[in-house]
Structure 1
Amino acid sequence: MTSARRPPVRVGVFGLLGSGNLGNDGSLEAVLGYLRAEHAEAVVDALCGGPEAVAARYRIPATRLHWYRGEYRTASRAGAIAAKGLGKILDVFRTAAWVRRHDVVIVPGMGVLEATLPLRPWGFPYSLFLLCATGRLFRTRVALVGVGAAPIRDRPTRALVRWSARLAAYRSYRDELSRDAMREMGVDTARDEVGPDLAFALPAPPPGPAGRVCVGVMDFHGGNDDRARAGEIHRRYLEGTIRFVRALVEDGRQVRLLKGDHCDTTVVAAILEAVDSPLVTAAEVATLADLMKEAAAADAVVATRYHNLICALKAGTPTLALSYAAKSDALMARMGLGAYCHPAREIDADRLLEQFRELEKRSAELRRTLTERNQETARQLTHQFTALSHTLFKATARQETP
């Protein structure tokens, strides 16, 4: 007697996706590529920050993460405060109903277990906790795949992150620092794996015509612990970046400004106005693939955002990091460019220019290093996706076998 045909596995993807952050969307694209290659029968949809963008770009059904559309705007009026509070209650039931419809939910990459940028506990940490708690309640396997983590001082945020990680059925991290951070927060990481960032799974572009320097900028105000001096940090970052770009222009170099999030547009505009040179232009980018193409067509890249660094390194272009968190330093070391980091909070334009010139002198050597490291990264990602399939999908198939 033949057994009944199993229904397709129902897979949800979850996160601040489609909200303007190219790094987050690149992680989603990498996971969707894996699912379509290895689990083509899976039925996939999303619970995310920008459902319209996700549905249009990736052709999957998508639901809004929050009932209250102004979730990430500061609520100052009584009506907005009440609406935000009501939204927190309604999101419990909305998240539970969505989770219950799935066999597996994947959180693709992103720094979901860190607070290296300003973050409130009742924002995304609360949403992630709801996901993992309802996943455990309804026996839906929640997977945190290739995520970033960092030590968190704020107690409510740390508690929500810790419990989210504990309740997940699968965890893997994008670097050793992330796994160490979760271990220090009381999570048993003995079976958790470490692999490259998921964005390294995206196809690399062919090299383009060189001759310019790409400078990836960020609307940088420090981290979660820097709120009291956020304005000063931003001013110093912007002034240092402007001085560096101006120095490149004085050397006759063409400079291409890159952003990684919609909010970076103001920084791009400020640099264009301050330097005021036809040698400085701004790239129009909508995806990580666009960023990689820009990086592949550059002699060198100097960048702040984590996923701008990934794009440049994946493209095999010598890269200098304006580092704002330990994850950037770890990434650069992993790819063999650990000597080329400069603090984003304390930009010294003269020292930065020295480091940049040294980077260019070693360009040919560093390109060979990046080729070797990218080959190793590809092997590690293949291993990680194989482990993910074994842990999630084979376990799900066993649960459904009549």
Structure 2
Amino acid sequence: MTPARVGVFGLLGSGNLGNDGSLEAVLGYLRAAHPEAAVDALCGGPEVVETRYGIPATRLHWYRGEYRTASRAGAVAAKGLGKLVDAVRTAAWVRRHDVVIVPGMGVLEATLPLRPWGFPYSLFLLCATGRLFGTRVALVGVGADAISDRPTRALVRWSARLAAYRSYRDALSRDAMRAMGVDTVRDEVYPDLAFALPTPGAASGPAGEPGRVCVGVMAFHGGNDDRARAEEIHRRYLDGTTRFVRALVEDGRPVRLLTGDEVDRTVVDAILDAVDSPLVTAAEAASLADLMKEAAAADTVVATRYHNLVCALKAGTPTLALSYAAKSEALMDRMGLDAYCHPAREVDADRLLEQFRALEKRSAELRQTLTERNQDAARRLEDQFTALTAALFPATDHAHTHALREAP
């Protein structure tokens, strides 16, 4: 038998730690269960993916300015041409593979600003050409949400329909796809793929000082339907978060600022400027493993980005969510901390501080709850990878089963 040709697809290597963590989890699965597979990527940051994960990678978009606003005629024309070129490039790449995996990520949602001709168009090209050439496309542990913009909703719906396999990171995602007209009868829900990653030990040195609180921040401007209020939402979020950090410092608590994407650095800088104190420091996290180390060394975590929450919960640290979407609330509910959510659009520093203190009073109890929920998540993800093998590598799965039966 020739080795399976497996592609991974998405905005990977582009600065978002959550996306890269999902890739890392899937690569770990492939290397353990299908070490003979030839794996490569079509992704946003091929140089990073090749260097960090050791697999060949191709740039997702022909036009390098794809995610920059095009105002001049030349840039608009280049973007338009890029859409045509990408259709050909994507088809050629898909045709070379037996299987393509989209690892996690919120690829079926628009909870952050998103244009239909951006990633939704790219995902549609992938799924359509996969169906055309008989390449099995799998959306594995992905996030989804109701989408009001009609072109974006249509592209997302058809992408999901054309995929050969779908699973979701929460029940809300599956329900959203069902509401958008996708048959989800065979689709399963599993924990986020990042829960399959190893749990590192706590960070050492100054980052592990007693009483430390990790505050995960985000360059948050609202969602896809909030473009008219984006700056107002951002100012309110930044002001509330800054006031909360200042209150912690006044109580003598060391604060460690975390990010999950390169764009979040502006928020970190703004808080450091506003709260001029040696008690406030910023972490230089390059992976979800780094974020987990930071969270494991903290007494408590307060975080906005979804995968900041995942890392803190997986590290077993009591966590309060600054929630910007239903996916955060679903995650907190799954992990037994549904009472500790605060709206990111309306950060009230005084109310947030009350919730924070209530969370800390139950710290020991919640750490035990998180231990139990993490064990369950690990078992469920073993089921996810078993199901993925059966769906995408049936010949390999049959041979593996036969070998087990023949073993003495």
- Shared fold (TM-score greater than 0.5)? yes
CA distance in structure 1 between the aligned counterparts of 2:332 and 2:375, rounded to whole angstroms? 16
Q: Deviations over 1:48-81 (max 9, x none)?
A: 0000000000000000000000000000001100
Q: Contact 1:210 / 1:299 at 8 angstroms: preserved in 2? A: no
- Map Cα deviations across residues 160-211 of structure 1 (whole Å, 9 max, x no partner): 0000000000000000000000000000000000000000100011245452
1:3 alignment partner in structure 2: none
2:46 equivalent in structure 1: 51
Structure 1 residues 202 and 66: alpha-carbon distance in aligned structure 2, compared to 1, 3 A threshold: same
Mapping 1:61-210, distance limit 5 Å: 61-208=56-203, 209=208
SS of 1:118 mapped into structure 2: coil
Alignment of 1:359-374 (within 5 A): 359-374=359-374
Amino acid at match of 1:202: L
Residues 133-172 of structure 1 deviation map (CA, whole Å, 9 limit, x = unaligned): 0000000000000000000000000000000000000000
Q: How many residues align?
A: 393
Describe the SS at the equivalent of 2:302: strand
Question: What is the rounded CA distance, in whole Å, between the counterparts of 2:200 and 2:301 in structure 1?
Answer: 15
Aligned with 1:225: secondary structure?
coil
Change (3 A) 1:397 1:38: closer
Which residue number in structure 2 is paired with residue 251 of structure 1?
251
Contact 1:113 1:148 in 2 (8 A): yes
Matched ranges for 1:254-333 at <5 A? 254-333=254-333
> Contact 1:213–1:254 at 8 Å: present in 2 too?
yes
Give the equivalent residue in structure 1 for 2:384. 384
**Amino acid across the alignment from 1:393:** F
1:354 offset after TM fit, Å?
Answer: 0.4
Letter in 1 for 2:394: K
> Unpaired runs of 5+ in structure 1?
1-5
Give the Cα–Cα distance (whole angstroms) in 2 for the partners of residues 222 and 199 of structure 1. 24
Whether the aligned pair in 1 keeps the contact of 2:178 and 2:184 (CA below 8 Å) is yes
Structure 1 residues 325-357: Cα deviation after superposition (integer angstroms, max 9, x where no partner): 000000000000000000000001000000001
Residue equivalent to 2:405 = none
Are the structure 2 counterparts of residues 210 and 196 from structure 1 closer, same or farther at C-alpha, using a change threshold of 3 Å?
farther
Preserved CA contact (<8 Å) 1:103 1:396: no
Deviation string, structure 1 residues 213-251 (Cα, Å, up to 9, x no partner)? 000000000000000000000000000000000000000
Partners of 2:134 and 2:389 lie apart in 1 by: 18
Corresponding position of 2:37 = 42
Partners of 1:277 and 1:129 in 2: CA distance? 48
Q: How far apart are the structure 1 equivalents of 2:62 and 2:128?
A: 19
Change (3 A) 1:21 1:192: same
Q: Contact 2:209/2:254 (CA < 8 Å) preserved in 1? A: no
Identity, % of aligned pairs? 84
Distance 1:361 1:328 in 2: 22
Q: Matched residues in 2 for 1:205 and 1:362: separation?
A: 24
The amino acid that maps onto 1:286 is A
Q: 1:108·1:147 contact (CA, 8 Å) conserved in 2?
A: yes
